[in-house]
Amino acid sequence: MRRRKSSVYLSNNGYALLLLTTLINVVIISNMNAKLMLNERHILSENAFVEIVVWLLSSPLSKSHHGFKYRLALVVNGNCVLGYDNEAGKGDHKHIGEDEIPYIFTTPKALLEDFWNDVDKWRF
């Protein structure tokens, strides 16, 4: 698994890549104890970044069989082209473009490895 260096990239015309999205993450997890485990943004190029957020929960979400809530996204040109998440009621799945595909969660480490392997397949 290759790690990306986090940084703010300013293009020649002065626009910050980070302005494509909100700088503050908005997360609402009500009626449950949750501990933020990972909250990272990795700038991959002038037009692409990855955002990774993983929470440890006191109990599994509906349709999930583990104690984690997560969202991992690859954003290119302002569009989410790849995403992994486990939305309550939907369970573990990933998005590749417009397609939603079931994902088999095993461990947080495997989740990150699978995601970065998919990111490595994109050309941007």
Is residue 69 domain-resident? yes
Cα separation, 60 vs 68, whole angstroms: 7
Q: What pLDDT is recorded for position 68?
A: 95
How far CA 7 is from CA of 17, 39, 46, in Å, comes to: 10, 14, 11
Cα separation, 69 vs 57, whole angstroms: 7
Is residue 1 domain-resident? no
Q: Which domain holds residue 84?
A: 37-120
Is residue 30 domain-resident? no
Cα separation, 124 vs 77, whole angstroms: 9
Is residue 61 domain-resident? yes
Hey, what are 34's tokens? 């949750």
Q: What pLDDT is recorded for position 5?
A: 43
Residues with pLDDT less than 50, the chain? 1-29
Q: What pLDDT is recorded for position 76?
A: 96
Is residue 3 domain-resident? no
Provide the whole-model pTM: 0.73
Is residue 76 domain-resident? yes
Is residue 109 domain-resident? yes
For the chain, the domain total comes to 1
